[in-house]
Structures are given as C-alpha cells and as structure tokens.
Structure 1
Amino acid sequence: MALQEGDFIRLRYTGRVGESIFDTTDEENAKEEGIYNPRAEYGPVTVRLGSHHIIVGLEDELIGKEVGAEGEVDVPPEKGFGAHEDGAVKSVPVTQFREKPQRGMRIEVEGREGVVVDVIGRRAVVDFNHPLAGKTLNYSYAILEKVEEPVEQIKGLIKLFSGRADIGVTIADGTAELELPPAITYDRRWMVWRGTLVREIFENYSDVNDVVMKETISRPAEPEAAPEVVEAEEPAEPAETEETKESEE
C-alpha cells in the first residue's frame, strides 16, 4: 500500500551537497566523510510523514512510495534549507565577541547562530543564513518498514528528538507514561525537545489525555563490608624442661 501523510516509517538516508555528505543515518558513511559524532545515535530513524521531521523535499518524495522502496532525489533550496538571503548577512562590531573573530568561525549573536565570512577593521561580517541555504541537496534513501505500534512510534519520536533509546514507554487508560532514567534533567537536548514530544503525542494520539514522566531513583547499594582480618597469634614459647636447662649449662 502506498504511504501517505500520518504514516510512521523507519527510514535510512544520506544527504549530500555535491560529493560531500552533510547528514546520514549510516555510521560508516559519517566516519568516512569525517562528520562522525561519537555522541550521536546512528541507524535508521522513525519519522511521521506530514510532520516535517525530515526535509520537505525528501518527505514529498516518500509520500506515495511503497515500503521497501529505495531511490534518490534532488531537493531544490525552496524545499530544503531555503534561499540564501542577503538581508541575513550582517556587520557586527568585534566588541560583541568573546574572542577575536576569524573567517569560518561559528558564533552566536543575540541568540542567532552564524558564520564569520569576513573581518574588516573593527567589524565582522556574519552570515546568519543556514550553511546549506541556497544549495540543491541530494538524498539517497531506503524505506525499511512501516511502524504500526503506538509505543514503538513514540519511542521513535523520542530517539528522533533527543537521541535517547533508554526511555521506557507504556500506554494504558488514556495515559502515556515515560519511564525516565536518573539524571536525565542534565541532558540539555532532552530538556529542549521534551515539550515538542509532548505536543506531538497529543496531536497524533487522540486517546491519550495525559503524559506522565516518571523518574525513579533507587537507593544506592550499601558497600560490602571488608572481611575481618584475624591476626595470627604469636607462637608460644616452648616450655623449659630439664633437658633444655642442662643444654644451656
């Protein structure tokens, strides 16, 4: 059956600009291209078609395809990262930087990320466009399967947004419960994206009325007591006998 908006699928893909890979679900491809991130979770991703979890141009290509389909698609800027806008290139005083700006440096100014493209006197020229704005992208892809179970769908969204695969999910009586690992509040990516996750759960599952996030912290195990060391007794002095007296004399 042809895939349509609302379907969840497991997808493998690699995105290129020219011959250079900029995004991939394949760990070996990432290592070969020099973009490997040891903290990233590689492997197929679960996405919901129609929710723009992937680039619009790739999503449009997948809708109407069958499970098992493989192929390539060229994505124009308007369906990728947009056109390169001259108005997003700004001149910024170097006094706004913590360190001396240099060409190619990625910086953040007033909450916006950009790249220094030139330094002229006491001002830096910063391009706030996405690095791939204005570029035609090429994606190769493989649709591995359709994900039907709501629990597996939500686990897929958790991994997509936060990169985590250690959060348990159960759904019962209108409640989706997420079993959180200890210290997850120190995970910045999770804290940023959990609100989006909750919103999508409510949007996609009309029978879920509550989302409960439960973090369980267990009592640390008591350290094992060191085994008691029994000191050996000093050997008793031999009793003095008549024979030992005579030998001493």
Structure 2
Amino acid sequence: MIQKGDFVKISYTARLEDGTIIDSTDEKTAIEAGLTDKLRYGDIIVAVGDRHVIEGLDDALVGKEIGFKGEIVVEPEKAFGAYDPDKKETVTIRHFKERPQVGQRVQIGDKWGTVERVIGRRVVVDFNHPYAGKKIIFDLEIKEKIDDPLEKVKALFLLYTTKEVNAEIKDGRVIVEVPRGSSFDQYFLIGKFSAIDAIFRHLEDVNEVELVERYPRIKPEAEEKKEEAEEAEEQKSQEEAKDTKEEQDTKEENPE
C-alpha cells in the first residue's frame, strides 16, 4: 500500500467533464489533443505528498496498491481552485503591444490571465486559472514503486529542473553531473536547490550533495572525422581477418 513519502512511477491522462483532454503523459494522446508544449512525455516518478502533481491526485495516491488502474475525480478545490469572480480586472489597452484577442493568455505584471472582453480601449482580464471551478478527471495507472536511492535522486532532479542527470552515491555523498548548458538554464539554476532540499528530506543517509561540471575537450571536426575513419578501417580489418580465419578453419575441417 502506498504511503506518503513513497516514490512511485505513474502515467495518466487528465480531462474535463466534457471530455476535453488537458494533460497526458502519453505522447500520442497529448499530441492528438493539441498539447504540444510539454517539455517531455512518458511516465513520471513522483514523491507522494510533495505535490509534484495537483493536490487531489497526490492525495489519491495514498492507500492505493501498485498496479492500480482507474479513474480519479478531483474536485475544483483540490485541483485549480474554486472560481473567484473578484479576480477579474479591467486594464487599459496600452498594457499590450498589439490589440489583444478574446481568449488570449496575457501577462500583466507578475500575473497571467485570459482576455475576456475588449471594450474600446479597455480590456477585461480574468486572472482565474483557466480550469478554476472545474472538476479534473484522471485516468491513472500506478506502475511501480521506486526504492533505489539513486533513481530517487535522478527523479527529483528531473522533477525540479526538467533535466536528466547522471549521478552516483558514495559514502553518504550524492554526486550529480551538471548537464552541459545548464549553467545558463533558469529552470536548472532555481530548481537545483529544491532538488537538493528534497534529497535531504527523502534520503536520510545522504549528508552532502555535490554538483560537478565537466567540460571535455572538443576535438576539431577534421580530427574527429579522421578518428572515425581510422576506427571504421580498423573494424573492417578485424572483420576481414575473422572471415579469413573462418574460411581457413572450414578448409581444415573439410579437406579436399
């Protein structure tokens, strides 16, 4: 039975009551629904209770068995919140570089909203989440429980930074190799601290987390092609030698 703090691998498709699919871990389902802005597709590993998925789904995992397949209905309060009519604001059109369209998602200051109406030079923006006040229905499958500490480390970095990392655990130290280019990636720079904090919370035997950046020498293209050609030639020679030996062995076994 799944408990809070367990790591489990899940897959799901989320839809509204009218059948509209709003999220899916399955690539084909997501693309067919027009959800092409996902960073990645496939099963996800979550730490139960850490809110890596919406609250209602996270809570529903507790008490389930590995292998569960079924429907989970999440009420608005534990999904994207109740609808609040007071979250509508009227702003002047000068907040926008181009004339906004009804239904367009816009950012005003540090808030995101949806354009509800355009009246002359005034724009009514609804700052409720697009799915506020709606039930979310999940078709959920719980595939396996993750017990390996190293897999937990990798899962936490993927959840918090969106990056797949190479890592190892030695004598209470977690050593994570920083993916190339991540030093300038905002998600990684911010998310790594949350990942490290989660590692300490979930892995009691870990006393230190070390992030390592590796920069191997990049060989000139001409040199790299030369090495590839030499490797191909060597492989060809080995195959020819093998064929010659097999031919000789055959002659020895079957003399004329």
With the shorter chain as reference, the TM-score category is 0.7 to 0.9
Equivalent residue for 1:243? none
Q: Cα gap change, 1:220/1:132 in structure 2, threshold over 3 Å: closer, same or farther?
A: same
- Report the CA distance between 1:40 and its aligned residue: 2.5
Once residues 83 and 192 of structure 2 are traced to their aligned partners in structure 1, the CA distance between those partners, rounded to angstroms, is 31
1:147-186 paired onto structure 2 within 5 Å: 147-165=146-164, 167-186=165-184
- Report the CA distance between 1:223 and its aligned residue: 4.5
Paired residue type of 1:32: E
Once residues 188 and 122 of structure 2 are traced to their aligned partners in structure 1, the CA distance between those partners, rounded to angstroms, is 36
Equivalent residue for 1:92? 91
Equivalent residue for 1:236? none
Q: Secondary structure at the match of 1:141?
A: strand
Once residues 106 and 156 of structure 2 are traced to their aligned partners in structure 1, the CA distance between those partners, rounded to angstroms, is 30
* CA deviation profile, 1:111-149 (whole Å, cap 9, x unmatched): 111111111222211111111110011001111000001
Equivalent residue for 1:213? 211
1:1-249 paired onto structure 2 within 5 Å: 2-17=1-16, 18-37=18-37, 40-165=39-164, 167-224=165-222
Once residues 221 and 6 of structure 2 are traced to their aligned partners in structure 1, the CA distance between those partners, rounded to angstroms, is 50
Identify unmatched segments of 5+ residues in structure 2: 227-256
Once residues 82 and 53 of structure 2 are traced to their aligned partners in structure 1, the CA distance between those partners, rounded to angstroms, is 18
Once residues 24 and 222 of structure 1 are traced to their aligned partners in structure 2, the CA distance between those partners, rounded to angstroms, is 42
Once residues 132 and 23 of structure 2 are traced to their aligned partners in structure 1, the CA distance between those partners, rounded to angstroms, is 15
Q: Which moved more, 1:7-16 or 1:99-108?
A: 99-108
Q: Which moved more, 1:139-148 or 1:218-227?
A: 218-227
Paired residue type of 2:176: L
Once residues 188 and 13 of structure 2 are traced to their aligned partners in structure 1, the CA distance between those partners, rounded to angstroms, is 24
Asked whether the 8 Å contact 2:156–2:199 carries over to 1, the reply is no
Once residues 101 and 189 of structure 1 are traced to their aligned partners in structure 2, the CA distance between those partners, rounded to angstroms, is 29
- Report the CA distance between 1:20 and its aligned residue: 0.9
Identify unmatched segments of 5+ residues in structure 1: 228-249
Q: Secondary structure at the match of 1:129?
A: coil
Once residues 190 and 92 of structure 2 are traced to their aligned partners in structure 1, the CA distance between those partners, rounded to angstroms, is 30
Q: CA RMSD in A?
A: 1.9
* CA deviation profile, 1:36-85 (whole Å, cap 9, x unmatched): 34x62211100011111111211222211111111101111011111011
TM-score (norm 2): 0.82
TM-score (norm 1): 0.84
Identity of aligned residues (%): 38
Select the structure of larger CA radius of gyration.
Answer: 1
Structure ranking higher in helix proportion: 2
Asked whether the 8 Å contact 2:163–2:179 carries over to 1, the reply is no
Question: Where do 4+ consecutive residues of structure 1 move more than 4 Å?
Answer: none
